[in-house]
């Protein structure tokens, strides 16, 4: 098969370090790829004021997929890189599914004393292009005692239906076939009603899938107290952001949490990235765990039709994680990448 | 001192059962009170269509405080009792502080394998009257492929400042003197900016209080992985809802989580209630844990100036919780209430 044409955005902080290991494993897996690096993030913003120039965005549209490390730095005002780069990529490339597995691998320590791998194995299908992330809102009389600031969640039948449909399909393909909608229908009545009606309506098309509903507050609690409740979860952009960080915490930490910003209609490339940020405090020290990026590479491979290779990468990670628990010393970012690459190369 | 004039809303499901034990402990504590019961909730809604008649609301304004059990039932459409009763009470009585301690008592089992009481001891100061709970929003072309549903978060300098000020005062009175703002300033930029600027500005008035900021996704993770990070948290209505349920999960479960809907300006009575709901599945079986309600009664006493008695009730609960871990059989709702009341009576 032909080369994967891959755009790589290493970004800031540990982003560069973990992406190098992700690419190392991709190469070791024997899938041919051609990568082009894009310098985007805090460094470029400080150097030129640019976040995501239109020409760069247009070029990115031409790739098969994008691999992103992490962007952000405390020196940049909050929201600038998020809204103008990260979220703009997700919105412009129509990444309406933000796919986030929450899975406890054998051998991985969880803060939950009683939970094992059989208890934590779910996929969160987070909406990626609308809801409270739309950027709608405003401010009036800023800085005065009469200031008001608003923030609006925009939800469309079009946007909700397509992500709910995707979630039903995911649920159908898994052994438990259970889909839970998470929202806050008792308070956010307009948006909640749209989400709940959409799940009800589509459930008629997927009679094999059992559906359930859980308020976001209760779901957040159950992630800790009864993670077994969940198989596939579908939820809005903001609730999904929160839930998947709780998920990362219970499944062994943010160093293991992978994600895909997926455009299932394939009208633009999908983008894969670890859930963690740029962690400027540990950047450049070889301390970052590249595992989340490597698992994101596995998701990328799966998305591009290399399911077998993806499974091999995931298995290599799983084996590495089992060995990790009995290791005497912590390995560096590069050593972890080397070890997983060696396993993948086989 | 004069009698406490208390309005009691037992509500639905286990609400009635746990409130009875709360009142039992209140009596045992020797504080004179005069209670009047109000029949509000699903039962009344089904009987008469009424949720909160204006005359009832007016009467409630005349009490020193309100004790609420839980309202709600699956037979009522989502949002009706929440918006027309629960949230209407919080809004009309200007409960701008929703005070929720997250504290692991000695002897209580937590799902976190490594955490002890020294690790989990915080107070969440949740805004109670605005934000995403305002009820603003709408729907257009409902039920069609062109439907859009919006939900608006309304934040005012007036509303944010008063709750942040309260949180600074709480933090100042605690040994660690640390206040963490939780928001999502990098995405919800308008509202986040108002919250962040307000904390910055008030911090000048409270130089002894250390301030910190945490995105809601990271904070949700840290509730599980590093709860020690937090002392006092201030946050908006929706984030507070989610965080306090995670807090309940890590601090031993929803059966222990107390809360106060507080009007610190005392222009109307404050309302105290367990965080849990009406739990129709176990209602009427004597299985509900009344501890959260009893701890809410302690908060009520503290609010009304009976700090010593409040401390006695909390100590009685703490002692009961230590004994509970070595108990052979589970006690009924009433037995737990009896035992704690006996300790309080001393
Ligand atoms: C950086 C931020 C905009 C982003 C989000 O909120 O989606 C991050 O938290 C994530 O989960 O990918
Ligand atoms: C019942 C619901 C409206 C309420 C809320 O969201 O505030 C509840 O979850 C709570 O935390 O008291």
Which secondary structure element, helix H or strand E, spans residue B83, and what is its range?
A: none
Question: Is B133 among the residues known to form the active site?
Answer: yes
Which residues 6+ apart lie within 8 Å of B4 measured at CB? Answer: B31, B32, B33, B34, B64, B65, B304
In the predicted model, what is the mean pLDDT of residues A205-216? Answer: 98
Residue B255: the pLDDT is 95
Identify the three-state secondary structure at position B140.
strand
Measure CB to CB from residue B221 to each of A114, A156, A245 and give the nearest one. A245
Of the two residues A103 and A346, the one the predictor is more confident about is A103
Beta bridge partners of A102: A122
User: Would you say residue A127 lies in a domain?
Assistant: no
Residue B68: the pLDDT is 98
User: Would you say residue A126 lies in a domain?
Assistant: no
In the predicted model, what is the mean pLDDT of residues A247-266? Answer: 97
Domain total for chain B? 2
Share of chain A above pLDDT 90, in %: 97
Which residue does chain A place closest to B227, by CA atoms?
Answer: A111
pLDDT value at B210 more than 60 = yes
Grade residue A264 by pLDDT with cuts at 50, 70 and 90: very high
* A14 and A81 together in one domain: yes
Residue B317: the pLDDT is 98
Lowest-pLDDT range of A49-53, A77-81, A166-170, B296-300:
A77-81
Which of A251, A285, A317 finishes a domain? A251
Counting ligands in written order, which one lies closest to the CA of residue A273?
A: 1
Measured in degrees and rounded to the nearest 5, phi and psi for residue A15 equal -50, -50
Domain that holds residue B318: 1-98+254-346
Mean per-residue pLDDT over chain A, rounded: 97
Which residues 6+ apart lie within 8 Å of A127 measured at CB? Answer: A96, A97, A98, A159, A160, A163, A234, A235, A236, A237, A240
Q: How far is A214 from chain B (nearest CA, A)?
A: 12
Closest residue (by CA) to atom 11 of ligand 2? B241
SS3 annotation, A119-152: CCEEEEEEECCCEEEEEEEEEECCCCCCCEEEEE
- Rounded Cα–Cα distance for residues B68 and A58 (Å): 57
- Assigned token pair, B102: 């997250």
Beta bridge partners of A100: A124
Which of B235, B251, B267 finishes a domain? B251
Report whether residue A136 contacts ligand 2, using a CB cutoff of 6 Å.
no
CATH number reported for the structural domain that contains residue A213 in this entry? 3.40.718.10
User: Would you say residue A231 lies in a domain?
Assistant: yes
* B1 and B70 together in one domain: yes
Beta bridge partners of B274: B258
Which of B191, B223, B251 finishes a domain? B251
pLDDT value at A1 more than 60 = no
Residues of A in contact with B150 (CB under 8 A): 152-155, 190-191
* A114 and A232 together in one domain: yes
User: Would you say residue A175 lies in a domain?
Assistant: yes
* B271 and B236 together in one domain: no
Please tell me which residue in A39, A193, A200, A217 is annotated as part of the active site.
Answer: A217
Residues of B in contact with A112 (CB under 8 A): 111-113
* A204 and A329 together in one domain: no
User: Would you say residue B329 lies in a domain?
Assistant: yes
* A243 and A114 together in one domain: yes
pLDDT value at B166 more than 70 = yes
DSSP per-residue letters across A169-234: HHHHTSSS-EEEEEE-TTTSHHHHHHHHHHHHHHHTT-TTSEEEEEEHHHHHHHHHH-GGG-SEEE
Q: What is the distance in A from the centroid of ligand 1 to the CA of A87?
A: 8
Digit-coded pLDDT (tens) for B242-251: 999 999 999 9
Closest residue (by CA) to atom 9 of ligand 2? B241
User: Would you say residue A177 lies in a domain?
Assistant: yes
Residue B1: the pLDDT is 54
User: Would you say residue B279 lies in a domain?
Assistant: yes
In the predicted model, what is the mean pLDDT of residues A145-160? Answer: 98
pTM above 0.75, yes or no: yes
* A307 and A204 together in one domain: no
Alpha helices in B50-173 (DSSP H): 54-60, 80-81, 87-92, 157-172
Identify the three-state secondary structure at position A334.
helix
* B145 and B237 together in one domain: yes
Which residue does chain B place closest to A152, by CA atoms?
Answer: B152
User: Would you say residue A196 lies in a domain?
Assistant: yes
Residue A326: the pLDDT is 86
Please tell me which residue in B63, B184, B231, B236 is annotated as part of the active site.
Answer: B184
Mean per-residue pLDDT over chain B, rounded: 97
Residue B326: the pLDDT is 86
In the predicted model, what is the mean pLDDT of residues B74-78? Answer: 93
- Rounded Cα–Cα distance for residues A122 and B167 (Å): 37
Q: Which residue has the tokens 């649920």?
A: A171
């Amino acid at each position: 098969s032909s080369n994967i044409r891959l755009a790589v955005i290493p970004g800031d902080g540990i982003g560069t370090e973990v992406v190098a290991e992700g690419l190392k494993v991709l190469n070791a897996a024997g899938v041919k790829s051609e990568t082009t690096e894009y310098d985007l993030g805090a460094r470029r913003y400080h150097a030129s004021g640019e976040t995501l120039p239109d020409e760069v965005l247009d070029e990115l549209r031409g790739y098969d997929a994008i691999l992103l490390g992490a962007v952000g730095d405390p020196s940049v005002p909050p929201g600038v890189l998020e809204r103008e780069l990260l979220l703009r990529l997700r919105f412009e490339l129509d990444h309406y599914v933000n796919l986030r597995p929450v899975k406890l691998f054998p051998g991985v320590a969880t803060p939950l004393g009683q939970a094992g791998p059989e208890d934590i194995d779910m996929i969160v299908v987070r909406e990626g292009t609308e809801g409270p992330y739309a950027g709608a809102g405003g401010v009036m009389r800023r800085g005065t005692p009469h200031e008001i600031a608003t923030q609006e969640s925009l939800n469309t039948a079009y946007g909700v239906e397509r992500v709910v449909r995707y979630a039903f399909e995911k649920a159908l393909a898994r052994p438990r076939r259970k889909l839970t909608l998470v929202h806050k229908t008792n308070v956010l009545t307009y948006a909640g009603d749209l989400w709940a009606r959409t799940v009800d309506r589509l459930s008629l098309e997927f009679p094999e899938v059992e559906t359930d509903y859980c308020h976001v507050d209760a779901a957040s609690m159950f992630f800790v107290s009864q993670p077994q409740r969940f198989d596939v979860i579908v939820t809005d952009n903001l609730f999904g952001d929160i839930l998947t960080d709780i998920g990362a915490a219970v499944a062994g930490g943010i160093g293991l949490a992978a994600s895909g910003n997926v455009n299932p209609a394939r009208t633009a490339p999908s983008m894969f990235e670890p859930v963690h940020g740029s962690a400027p405090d540990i950047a450049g020290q070889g301390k970052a765990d590249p595992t989340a990026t490597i698992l994101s590479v596995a998701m990328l491979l799966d998305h591009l039709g290399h399911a077998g290779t993806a499974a091999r990468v995931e298995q290599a990670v799983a084996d590495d994680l089992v060995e990790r628990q009995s290791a005497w010393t912590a390995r560096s970012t590069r050593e972890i990448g080397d070890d997983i690459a060696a396993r993948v190369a086989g």
